[in-house]
Amino acid sequence: MIISVASGKGGTGKTTVSVNLAASLETPLKLLDCDVEEPNVHLFIQPDEMVSRTESTFVPVIDEQRCNGCRKCADLCEFNALAVIGEKVLVFPELCHSCEGCREICPEQAVQAGSRELGTIETGSWQHVIMSYGRLRVGEAMSPPLIARVQSIIDPDDLVIIDAPPGTSCPAINAMKVSDFVLLVTEPTPFGLHDLVLTVEAVRQLEIPCGLVINRADIGNEEVYRYARRESLPILMEIPFERSIAEIYSRGGLLVEHSEEWRIRFSGLFDTINDRAALQEVGR
């Protein structure tokens, strides 16, 4: 089963839920930080040794000796990564989505394979957890290709927890779309509700079951709770706004390692998710 922990906005406590959910279980699992623009799972789950690898993607390189300026490659590209000036083809690597269509369509075989660095992926083990996270290269505009590389270590029988990017844009959708269940983390504030509504709509478009964790549950107002009731969204956990919890987080600690009560609550959260995902599968 693949569980994505997502949120409409940053700072709601998504990583807190991800790392404590993973640490509360005893079964082997993979914890993937797909927030490749700002990964932080490794600040809480700290393997003894990390293995790093650099990831690259295809970009076209034009062989000017073969190119006759026919424009077929530029006409095909929907992202304007190629332009023809006279008989010369200009390449804009930062716009390329690596579909390789230009390479396939070129009648002169003038498009050769080049590469653009996406970033790095770090992988390591901690107790029962295999953790992996991506770090996008500074200046790289597209994170979904690197997110896909982080997710490439998923095997069909794995239990996986994905810490998704915040928001509802392409990075978040690409992180969530492989999931069996999406755990939405929100806070009971006007900003939290506004972005929660957008995320719920996105998850429903993906037709993935979801549930809520309300962090800092005793601040703000009741609008998030009213929305959850109207939309029949199950509230699976509430985390109070407490100084002790904030102190543990600020030191890079795990709540489940400081409190047996919270370990039981997070492992119970997983059991609830498992049951709901199983019911959804039976209903299909």
| Segment 220-246, tens digit of pLDDT | 789 999 999 999 999 999 999 999 999
Whether residue 207 is found in the same domain as residue 278: yes
Q: Is 50 helix (H, G, I), strand (E, B) or coil?
A: strand
Q: For position 163, what pLDDT does the model report?
A: 97
By DSSP bridging, strand 2-6 and strand 181-186 are parallel
* Percentage above 70 pLDDT, the chain: 98
| Domain boundary residue, one of 117, 140, 156 | 117
Identity (one letter) of the amino acid at 151?
Q
Q: For position 221, what pLDDT does the model report?
A: 86
Backbone angle region of 211, left / alpha / beta, with phi > 0 → left and psi within -120 to 50 → alpha: beta
Q: For position 8, what pLDDT does the model report?
A: 83
Reported as a single tens digit per residue, the pLDDT across 150-167 is 999 999 999 999 999 999
Whether residue 109 is found in the same domain as residue 13: no
Q: For position 10, what pLDDT does the model report?
A: 83
CATH number for 246 = 3.40.50.300
Reported as a single tens digit per residue, the pLDDT across 106-125 is 999 999 999 999 999 999 99
CATH number for 64 = 3.30.70.20
Burial class of residue 41 (count of CB atoms within 10 Å of its CB; 0-12, 13-18, 19+): buried
What is the C-alpha to C-alpha distance for residues 35 and 166, in angstroms, rounded to an integer? 8
What is the C-alpha to C-alpha distance for residues 114 and 92, in angstroms, rounded to an integer? 12
Q: Is 239 helix (H, G, I), strand (E, B) or coil?
A: strand
Whether residue 133 is found in the same domain as residue 223: yes
> Which letter does DSSP use for residue 179 in this model?
-
The number of folded domains in the chain is 2
Quote the domain boundaries for residue 66.
Answer: 57-117
Q: For position 223, what pLDDT does the model report?
A: 92
